[in-house]
Amino acid sequence: MGKRRRTVLRITGLLLVLAVAGFTLRKNLPDFGQTLGVLRSAHPWWLVLAAAAEMTSLRHFALQQRRLLAGFGVRMSVPRAIAVTFTRSAISFSLPAGSAVSAGFAFRQFRTAGATRRTAGAVAVLSGVLSGVALVLMYGAVVLIPRGGATGNPDTLVLVIAMLVIAGLVFGLDFLLSPRRPVPPPVLADDEEPAPARGWVARSKASVRRTWDDLRRLPRRSWVLSLVHATVNWGLDFACLAATAAAFDIDVSLVRLATVYLTVQLVRQVPLSPGGIGVVEVALLAGLVSAGAGHGPAAAAMLVYRLLSCWIIIPLGLLAYATLRRGPRIPDAPPVQPPALAARR
């Protein structure tokens, strides 16, 4: 009964959000013909840059978790980490309670790589915590950009190219700092599990204390690099949105666009639908229109950005899952709950 009630509440909440958004945008929604015409007028090189930024963003999300695993003495190859990232992203975008199912899938993949239950859970939690910190850092960095720059002028080109160059440098740095010797045994043993605390206050305090202890056990190089990977991940995803907006000549400052992006990411944390499908599209469209974008270009930019950052990931994730099934069998393990502010995937 409890599960059914939660499902009803989610559906009701989703319908309420869509109804409010539809009422708010009733005079601003472009017709299909107008949107199709704008899509045909897109600047192709901006779309190429947007796709490159989004695919590189996914790679750094994979590298972030790989670096955390390495800090606890667990090896995972880059191709396998990328396959796990695409698969769990597809799960998150397509299934009910996708974030929890995705976290459970990642947990089992970490166990397959040789992590203990404690280590796998610590990596899942720390990944979400560091991603939340990185989102704030990314927004702070964009706010420092001189005001007045618009997405269609060279400022956006500098942003996208700079993020791609930084991503390459960070990838190279991570490769150089990766250990060449046999990895030591995992630091966190399963027998270190404490007795469960009673009461939500006590459980919250215990969770914070445990996360802090796990972070302190990590080598500084590991968590710093993981934070850098997470920041690059968010920065590239934002660069994808900026390049998409530039492809349709949307004249909005990067700071205002970053504010829209941050708002959309916060809305995405509300689990009303798998991957925020429906909610994110409406929130992004409303944000772009309120920032000053034309109705047709805003709809076109929203469609292309969601295609690159969500919809196309689902079939790619299915292909990645097929490659993972060829590897070692995944041991049975209970799923872990994602942190309050989950990672973008």
Residue 150 phi, psi dihedral angles, 5° rounding: -115, 155
pLDDT of residue 345: 57
CA atoms of 280 and 21, how far apart (whole Å): 11
Contacts of 54 (CB under 8 A, 6+ apart): 236, 237, 240, 308, 309
Name the residue among 232, 241, 82, 85 with its Cα closest to residue 168.
232
pLDDT of residue 281: 86
End-to-end CA distance of the chain: 29
**One-letter amino acid identity for 112?**
T
| pLDDT tens-digit series, residues 199-233 | 656 666 666 777 777 777 788 888 899 999 999 99
Q: Is residue 46 helix, strand or coil?
A: helix
Tell me the H-state helices in 113-199.
Answer: 117-143, 154-177
User: Global pTM?
Assistant: 0.82
Residue 176 phi, psi dihedral angles, 5° rounding: -65, -30
| pLDDT tens-digit series, residues 146-158 | 655 445 567 788 8
Name the residue among 42, 105, 22, 60 with its Cα closest to residue 330.
105
| pLDDT tens-digit series, residues 286-309 | 899 888 888 889 989 999 999 999
* Residues 285/302, Cβ–Cβ less than 8 Å: yes
CA atoms of 250 and 214, how far apart (whole Å): 44
pLDDT of residue 96: 75
For residue 177, pLDDT beyond 90: no
- Give the model's confidence band at 65: pLDDT under 50 very low, under 70 low, under 90 confident, else very high: very high
Query: What dihedral angle (degrees, nearest 10) is formed by the CA atoms of 40, 42, 44, 46?
Result: -160
- Give the model's confidence band at 73: pLDDT under 50 very low, under 70 low, under 90 confident, else very high: confident
Query: What dihedral angle (degrees, nearest 10) is formed by the CA atoms of 64, 240, 172, 162?
Result: -130
Within 13 Å of residue 92, how many CA atoms lie on the same side as its CB?
27
Percent of the chain with pLDDT over 90: 35
For residue 240, pLDDT beyond 90: yes
Mean pLDDT, the chain, integer: 79
